[in-house]
Structure 1
Amino acid sequence: MKSKSSMMSRDLISKALQQSVIKLNPKLMARNPVMFVVEVGLIISLLLIFVPNAFGESVSTGFNIAVAIILLFTILFANFAEALAEGRGKAQADSMKNTQKEIIANRIEGEQIVAVSSTQLRKGDIVKVVQGEMIPGDGEVIKGLASVDESAITGESAPVIKEAGGDFSSVTGGTMVISDEIIIRITSDPGESFMDRMISLVEGAERQKTPNEIALNTVLISLTIIFLMVVVTLPFMASYLNIVLSVPVLIALLVCLIPTTIGGLLSAIGIAGMDRVTRFNVLAMSGKAVEASGDINTIILDKTGTITYGNRMASEFVPTEGHSPQEVGEWAAVSSAFDETPEGRSVLELMKKQNWEYPQSLSEGAEIIEFRAETRMSGLDLTDGRKVRKGAVDAIRKWVVSQGGTIPDNLQANNDAIASAGGTPLAVAVDQEIYGLIYLKDTVKAGMKERFEQMRSMGIKTIMCTGDNPLTAATIAREAGVDDYIAESTPEDKIAVIRREQAEGKLVAMTGDGTNDAPALAQADVGIAMNSGTVAAKEAANMIDLDSDPSKIIEVVAIGKQLLMTRGSLTTFSIANDIAKYFAIIPAMFMVAIPQMQVLNIMNLHSPMSAILSALIFNAIIIPILIPLAMKGVAYKPMSSTKLLRRNLFIYGFGGVVVPFVGIKCIDLIMQTFL
């Protein structure tokens, strides 16, 4: 029994072959000027088969037929490359469409719950989703916490936790709640969902060309026009030497001179580049974003969740003078009574591990002070008038001083000790007194130092942004191996560093998932938002990582570089090919009238006709041979731009000269048996 993937491959190839023929329509071919010129040559060759002397003296009908057939296959091979690239995207889009289906939603209307079709939901509607039910549309969790299966979107079987508030409140239509229940506010109208946008982007054959692709296309058109002018004027120049050049020979010369190889593969390379990013579970909003990622000079990364595992957990209570660890733990637990963040929960878990109790009754009726980026602390205002705060050490220090309190002598020493160990200290204070610190531990992800070394070898600067104090930031930065860091960073700091790098002419990439990351994601040249993040972050970014893996930006950069390398390498190969074709066709055209031209026939080709047909056949078959490379991309290895250029010039420049000499000679040897 054949695998599903192999059957899918046969299906894709079959559809691509059909599209190759459909794309012969001159209106469609006109979008690719290089291949359109080849099609015009095909039409003229077909005319000469039936009217051999339509343009004056002609060669044999058999030669005309051979030229027409070769030109037809040249065009079909180029169309096949583009159709195959488009087909892969359309197949993926069809798979996504299969996951879309009408879902019954429990819409909350006042105090009632009404069952409606998901197609009736509108932006702003409130729905309830319980265990075992599908989420009917894109939205944000406004109440509750649930485990959600997002495998329909990401392909990953591991469920993710979605909860109200924070950076993990965004949910996607078509995913399933597998435990608990949540209340969701719908954030998109029908036809505008995340899945709809994914399908539109993935299947879009009418994609926008990137700036580099447009520039290269302009160069190819210019070369085509130049060689067209040369070929058109060549008969007049040859007449002075009493040489008659037939139209089929001139057509063969033109087709071999113009950059047909890269002209036939250029569109496929761009489409395949987008496809590679999508298959890597990253949704790119445009080809420009993918291409820009290949030119990135600087990457801005959040520490938590990107460089470190992000599970900062309370591991120790460190008291100030006159207090005990248990006292610190008790007040830390009181301040965390309503704190649903992982850090807040870990404080209560540490108390349980220590078998310490805390006065839970103190939190009853207390006013909750939410954490804000501006204050960098949270806590409770108790009913007895006392104020309990937990937060960044410098923020708590300022707050205590503003209350008229004093700073313990050993606070700074304890703070520095935790920070130097790579931990994050949080201070706990009650009114005018700081009781101590909570030691939060985080761990640098395995292999990060090696990955940043790869970035450095690629000429990319890495900057870590963290809300930690300078000592903690310095320790993590040193352990991870980043080039620079920004401690105690705010959203404004991230934008400032992005603008600073851009002002120096650099392209900047950034990852983020929170609403406060949205401005910086929009400012960056390549902004990658996590699918688990907020709607604001996803709307601001030009890429969305469906796996919500912030460190994936490193692979995205590699894919972007691979796209640029593939286009550049195949362009180099295509232009280098022409050298061998010159030595095949030019001597063949003139050496009968000018015997001295025989010295240029360094390949010792059998005859003028076999030389021309061999060059033309090689020009046609090199396109399908290079299709797998265009689809897969040139292998990328992190190295300096100088080494990369030298390597690719040798492989695709020198190789592009040698391969046609060998290929044309081999075809000529085969042709001898037919001519």
Structure 2
Amino acid sequence: MTEPNHRHHHPEGDASAPGDASIAAPAVRKAAPGAPHGQHGGHGTGGNGGHGGHGGHDHAAMIADFRRRFWIMLVLTPPILLLSPMIQEFLGLAETLAFPGSTLVLFGLSTIVFFYGGWPFLTGFVSEVGNRKTGMMTLISLAITVAYVYSTATVFGLAGEPFFWELATLILIMLLGHWIEMRSVMGASAALQALVALMPATADRVLPDGTTEEVPVSDLRPGDRVLVRPGAKVPTDGVVVEGRTSLDESMLTGESKPVERSEGEVVIGGAVNGEGAITIEIRKTGDETYLAQVIEMVRRAQESRSRSQNLADRGANILTYSALVVGIATLVVWIGVGAPYEFAIARMVTVMVIACPHALGLAVPLVVAVSTRLSATSGLLIRDRASFERARNLDVVVFDKTGTLTEGRFGVSDVIPLGALPADAVLGWAAALESQSEHPIARGVTRSAQERGLAVEAVRDFRNLPGEGAEAAVAGRNVKVVGPGYLRRRGIETAHADVERVAEQGKTVVYVLLDEEVVGAIALADVVRPESREAIAKLKAMGIECMMLTGDARAVAQSVSAELGLDDYFAEVLPDQKADKIREVQARGKTVAMVGDGVNDAPALVQADCGIAIGAGTDVAVQSADIVLVRNDPRDVTAILSLSRATYRKMIENFVLGAGYNVVAIPLAAGVAYSWGVILTPAVGAALMSLSTVVVAINAKLLERRRKDIAALGLQQS
């Protein structure tokens, strides 16, 4: 069917449905990456994200090492306590527990504790010195070394009391704190391992004779056919060639409901098969697969530095140097006022321990790890963390129209009766005729009839009317669906206010004739996504202006804008002008996000403060974007912006938790409240420092509570 100026109308951009769920991304450099580095900042440079010390080691082995050392220290510490003169006097057992050579036994046990229990901290100190970045390990090592050297000197003649018991309890508490903290860190920062675990190790490859053989997934090649049984995971990206089933893609795209897949449809590696067995033909392997690209995005996002991380690093470094200065000053002041050496040294050791910037060093990396994993497993892929952080301050979101706010296909928007027949009857006659045509307009009419559950009569003698429309015999009646030109050429008058209204909105209008009598008009337009209304409403509720860019006519843009309640729109914009429009909005002093899915959106995505590619966009659009939303659902824009706000809020909370307690703890550690009987021992200082680190890890983990909000496509604003 053809009709000049109307029947060939097509919205701008690419209206075709995505045929491949893969997202283009940089090649994955690690097929099965280990723990993301930078997630355990304290074992290196305190505030530098952990690129030294133990930062690159396997976290599971480190946890086992700290656990083993803790249990051995737990056995050695009680004898040290009982052999310490101060503890003996406190318990009133000095005469009972004292024996010849007890001081040397105490020294020997304490030496084992210092070198074996303190080894992780001593080697961490060496690493920090080698990197020329002092941090947590420097403070702990100085504290335990000062305690050990001073106590050893008292054993061999220096006047004073040893405090080996303080040394032992300090190391014991530090080992326990690190063990607990690292377990919390493992749970918070296992984003890459969790994604890697989605991929099965083996697959059932179909042989030419129809039998199957189990092979490693790494042996699969494009063109191979694989049998995926019910309950099994899809081994890699491919296309269904036999069978029908439903797949659980929730951990890949965030789609909470199982998705139906049948012959000719794309499946993603890592999806869990449902009730039916399917045979798929492999299309992508290794670094090319969707999951591999998501893993690479997650890895890059976690390693990328952000403004918040840099701020945390500077704070940790300041805290480290402050602790050294305050610790030395504490020692000098207490000795200056006549306090015993062991008391002054204990105060200095406590200050250094309690001020360790471990929690502050972990404040941002842990939140980054959790938010990155949360977003990646919800179909919200972050390629640039700095842009993701800026998203919390957005003033304007500019949407491309076709394929983003609309579905990029024709659909019936209005059915206007022009006679005695009701609207459904008019649509039913038209759908019967159009069922024989493949024209986009015809598909829109038949689809709308199906959605309304209308029965379609059989058709005979279908023929095109070149430049005018089509006609056929339906249930013994002559039915025509034609454009306005057909009526004009035959002098048929059809003036109607509703028809004029939809025509002014830029919609395509066709007329339905029954036995040469006009019975109705059908208006078609690019279908607005139902989700778009909800997305716009939520964004406006968040205080964000919503605008639209389109190459369509002004009347069409105005109609869509009014339907969605947009704040502004730009119509008849050529592809090379879209970036200029973004600059125009930015010139108003606004922070702008651009949301699009086509090649012609790429310059605008780059120009925007935050570029968001929505749906299975083209490679260029994805490469140009800071954030990729896997689904074609505008509501995901609200999800990513709300997640940005929640993530930043967690970072601020962790800043306070990681460093705020020092405002009170450091003066107490220095002994300012000694006259009131309040004094902190090194062991208590270690416990407080470790507790702050664990609290930071747990608080970051609490961001996981946002998963349900994301699944519902509407994170709560707070």
Whether these two folds match at TM > 0.5 is yes
Among candidates 631, 637, 642, match of residue 701 of structure 2: 631
1:369-389, Cα deviation, whole Å (9 max, x unpaired): xxxxxxxxxxxxx8xx74769
- Per the TM alignment, residue 58 of structure 1 is displaced from its structure 2 partner at its CA by 6.4
- Per the TM alignment, residue 228 of structure 1 is displaced from its structure 2 partner at its CA by 2.2
Quick check: 1:311–1:342 contact (8 Å CA) kept in 2?
A: no
Quick check: 1:139–1:184 contact (8 Å CA) kept in 2?
A: yes
Partners of 2:680 and 2:617 in 1: CA distance? 63
Matches within 5 A, 1:595-674: 601=673, 606=677, 609-610=679-680, 614-633=684-703
Matches within 5 A, 1:294-373: 294-302=392-400, 313-314=411-412, 316=414, 329=430, 333=434, 336-339=437-440, 343=444, 345-346=446-447, 353=454, 362=463
Matches within 5 A, 1:34-73: 34-41=135-142, 43-44=144-145, 47-48=148-149, 51-52=152-153, 60-61=162-163, 62-73=165-176
Partners of 1:134 and 1:228 in 2: CA distance? 54
**What secondary structure sits across from 1:93 in the alignment?**
helix
Partners of 2:647 and 2:680 in 1: CA distance? 37
State whether structure 2 residue 191 is matched by structure 1 residue 89. yes
- Per the TM alignment, residue 120 of structure 1 is displaced from its structure 2 partner at its CA by 7.2
Gaps of 5+ in 2: 1-57, 70-119, 420-424, 471-482, 512-519, 707-716
- Per the TM alignment, residue 555 of structure 1 is displaced from its structure 2 partner at its CA by 1.3
State whether structure 2 residue 523 is matched by structure 1 residue 438. yes
Among candidates 347, 350, 375, match of residue 249 of structure 1: 347
State whether structure 2 residue 321 is matched by structure 1 residue 225. yes
Quick check: 1:81–1:268 contact (8 Å CA) kept in 2?
A: no
Quick check: 2:532–2:635 contact (8 Å CA) kept in 1?
A: no
Query: Could you tell me which amino acid in structure 2 is paired with residue 63 of structure 1?
Result: E
**What secondary structure sits across from 2:412 in the alignment?**
strand
- Per the TM alignment, residue 79 of structure 1 is displaced from its structure 2 partner at its CA by 3.8
Aligned residue in 1 for 2:293: 197
Aligned residue in 1 for 2:64: 18
Partners of 1:260 and 1:415 in 2: CA distance? 70
Quick check: 1:148–1:160 contact (8 Å CA) kept in 2?
A: yes
Quick check: 1:314–1:440 contact (8 Å CA) kept in 2?
A: yes
Partners of 2:439 and 2:225 in 1: CA distance? 25
Among candidates 258, 265, 289, match of residue 158 of structure 1: 258
Partners of 2:554 and 2:361 in 1: CA distance? 53
- Per the TM alignment, residue 202 of structure 1 is displaced from its structure 2 partner at its CA by 4.9
State whether structure 2 residue 310 is matched by structure 1 residue 214. yes
- Per the TM alignment, residue 217 of structure 1 is displaced from its structure 2 partner at its CA by 0.9
Distance change (3 Å), C-alpha of 1:90 and 1:452: same
Aligned residue in 2 for 1:112: none
Among candidates 502, 508, 511, match of residue 426 of structure 1: 508
- Per the TM alignment, residue 624 of structure 1 is displaced from its structure 2 partner at its CA by 1.9
Partners of 1:341 and 1:290 in 2: CA distance? 42
State whether structure 2 residue 660 is matched by structure 1 residue 561. no
The structure with more radius of gyration? 2
Distance change (3 Å), C-alpha of 1:222 and 1:157: same
1:36-77, Cα deviation, whole Å (9 max, x unpaired): 333423552563486255998765422333333344445445
Aligned residue in 1 for 2:13: none
Distance change (3 Å), C-alpha of 1:443 and 1:162: farther
State whether structure 2 residue 375 is matched by structure 1 residue 277. yes
1:312-346, Cα deviation, whole Å (9 max, x unpaired): 6326566999xx97999599949952449963653
RMSD value over aligned CA atoms? Answer: 5.8
Query: Could you tell me which amino acid in structure 1 is paired with residue 523 of structure 2?
Result: I
Query: Could you tell me which amino acid in structure 1 is paired with residue 168 of structure 2?
Result: I
- Per the TM alignment, residue 554 of structure 1 is displaced from its structure 2 partner at its CA by 0.7
Distance change (3 Å), C-alpha of 1:316 and 1:70: closer
Quick check: 1:318–1:439 contact (8 Å CA) kept in 2?
A: no
Q: Number of matched residues?
A: 559
- Per the TM alignment, residue 255 of structure 1 is displaced from its structure 2 partner at its CA by 3.2
Partners of 2:521 and 2:538 in 1: CA distance? 41
1:273-294, Cα deviation, whole Å (9 max, x unpaired): 2122234342333544543433
**What secondary structure sits across from 1:96 in the alignment?**
coil
- Per the TM alignment, residue 566 of structure 1 is displaced from its structure 2 partner at its CA by 1.2
Distance change (3 Å), C-alpha of 1:523 and 1:193: farther
**What secondary structure sits across from 1:438 in the alignment?**
strand
Distance change (3 Å), C-alpha of 1:293 and 1:616: same
Aligned residue in 2 for 1:369: none
Gaps of 5+ in 1: 1-11, 108-114, 364-381, 390-398, 430-434, 589-600, 637-646, 649-675
Quick check: 1:584–1:612 contact (8 Å CA) kept in 2?
A: no
Quick check: 1:148–1:161 contact (8 Å CA) kept in 2?
A: yes
Distance change (3 Å), C-alpha of 1:41 and 1:457: farther
**What secondary structure sits across from 2:690 in the alignment?**
helix
Aligned residue in 1 for 2:709: none
Matches within 5 A, 1:387-466: 414=498, 417-418=501-502, 425-427=507-509, 438-440=523-525, 445=530, 448=533, 452=536, 455-456=539-540, 458-465=542-549
1:173-212, Cα deviation, whole Å (9 max, x unpaired): 46679999999994x5633322222344557897333232
Quick check: 1:46–1:64 contact (8 Å CA) kept in 2?
A: yes
- Per the TM alignment, residue 213 of structure 1 is displaced from its structure 2 partner at its CA by 0.8
Quick check: 1:333–1:347 contact (8 Å CA) kept in 2?
A: no
- Per the TM alignment, residue 85 of structure 1 is displaced from its structure 2 partner at its CA by 1.9
Partners of 2:564 and 2:400 in 1: CA distance? 12
Among candidates 366, 391, 406, match of residue 293 of structure 1: 391
- Per the TM alignment, residue 501 of structure 1 is displaced from its structure 2 partner at its CA by 3.8
TM-score, length of structure 2 as denominator length: 0.60
**What secondary structure sits across from 1:485 in the alignment?**
strand
TM-score, length of structure 1 as denominator length: 0.63
Partners of 2:384 and 2:449 in 1: CA distance? 45
**What secondary structure sits across from 1:191 in the alignment?**
helix
Query: Could you tell me which amino acid in structure 1 is paired with residue 507 of structure 2?
Result: P
**What secondary structure sits across from 1:633 in the alignment?**
helix
State whether structure 2 residue 663 is matched by structure 1 residue 579. yes
Query: Could you tell me which amino acid in structure 1 is paired with residue 170 of structure 2?
Result: V
**What secondary structure sits across from 1:313 in the alignment?**
strand
Partners of 1:189 and 1:335 in 2: CA distance? 41
Distance change (3 Å), C-alpha of 1:225 and 1:183: same
Query: Could you tell me which amino acid in structure 1 is paired with residue 352 of structure 2?
Result: L
- Per the TM alignment, residue 306 of structure 1 is displaced from its structure 2 partner at its CA by 6.0
Distance change (3 Å), C-alpha of 1:350 and 1:29: same
Partners of 2:491 and 2:135 in 1: CA distance? 76
Partners of 2:622 and 2:279 in 1: CA distance? 21
Query: Could you tell me which amino acid in structure 1 is paired with residue 259 of structure 2?
Result: P
Query: Could you tell me which amino acid in structure 2 is paired with residue 51 of structure 1?
Result: T
Distance change (3 Å), C-alpha of 1:129 and 1:517: farther
1:138-186, Cα deviation, whole Å (9 max, x unpaired): 4799x9999874637346443257999xxxx876446679999999994
Aligned residue in 2 for 1:393: none
1:105-135, Cα deviation, whole Å (9 max, x unpaired): 899xxxxxxx999867778x79999999998
Aligned residue in 2 for 1:395: none
Aligned residue in 2 for 1:263: 361
